[in-house]
Amino acid sequence: MITSETNPENPAPETTLPPTPNALLREALQAAMGDSLQGFEESYGMLSVIVKSTDSLKLLQHLYDNHGFQFLTDIAAVHYPTRPGEELCVVYHLHNLPANHRLRLKTFVPIEKPDVFTATQLFPGANWMERETYDYFGVNFVGHPNLRRILNVDEMDYFPMRKEFPMEDPTRRDKDDEMFGRGGSF
C-alpha cells in the first residue's frame, strides 16, 4: 500500500505553526509605520521596536489606539558613550493588559540635543517617569508640563547616570586590598 508518506509524487502537507503575537505585531507595525522604524530585536520573548526620535510619540499613539498598549510600565534611559550621534537611548516599556503582551520601544538621540516628545498627554503617569529620566540622564521631553529635577538638587549642573566620570578615584588608598587584609605589605 502506498501512502502519501511514502509516495514522493504526493508528499504529506507540512504543518506550519501559527505566527507568534510578536511576529504579527512586527508585520502590522512595519505596514503602518514604514520608514519611521529603524529595527526590531527580540530578547527573552519580548519584542523591542527601534523608532526615530521624531516619530516616537506617533508610534506610541498608534500602539495605544490600534494594538491595545494602554499601560506604560516604565520609562528609562541608557547612556552609550561610544555611539556618536545616538549616545542616549530612551526606553519605554508598554503592556497590553487584556492580551498580556509586553513591548519595549527604543529611540536614540544625540547627547548634544537629547529631545524626545513627551508622552504625558497619552499616559498621565509618564509625568514623573519623564522627570526622573530628565533628572538622571538629561533627556529633554519636549512639551512636558513641568520638566524639572525630581530627585537631585536644582543646583546640580550634571546628570549623574551618564557615563562621563571615572568609576573610582585611582588615588584612594582606603579601597586597596591591603586595607582589608587581603594581601599587600603591612
pLDDT tens for each residue of 45-81 = 999 999 999 999 999 999 999 999 999 999 999 999 9
Q: Does pLDDT of 186 surpass 60?
A: no
Q: Does pLDDT of 174 surpass 90?
A: no
pLDDT for res 117: 97
Residue 180 lies in a domain: no
Residue partners of 108: CB distance under 8 A and separation at least 6:
50, 53, 83, 86, 88, 89, 90
Q: Tell me the C-alpha distance between 124 and 65, whole Å.
A: 16
Residue 54 lies in a domain: yes
Residue 59 lies in a domain: yes
Q: Maximum CA pair distance of the chain? A: 89
Residue 124 lies in a domain: yes
Rounded mean pLDDT, 33-40: 95
Q: Which residues pair with 142 in a beta bridge?
A: 117
What is the identity of the amino acid at 141? F
Number of domains in the chain: 1
Q: How far is CA 180 from CA 167, 168, 172, 173, in A?
A: 20, 17, 14, 11
Residue 4 lies in a domain: no
Range of the domain at 67: 34-151
CATH number at residue 89: 3.30.460.80
Residue 166 lies in a domain: no
pLDDT digits (tens, 9 = 90+) for 107-150: 999 999 999 999 999 999 999 999 999 999 999 999 999 999 99
pLDDT for res 17: 86
Residue 53 lies in a domain: yes
Q: Tell me the C-alpha distance between 29 and 59, whole Å.
A: 9
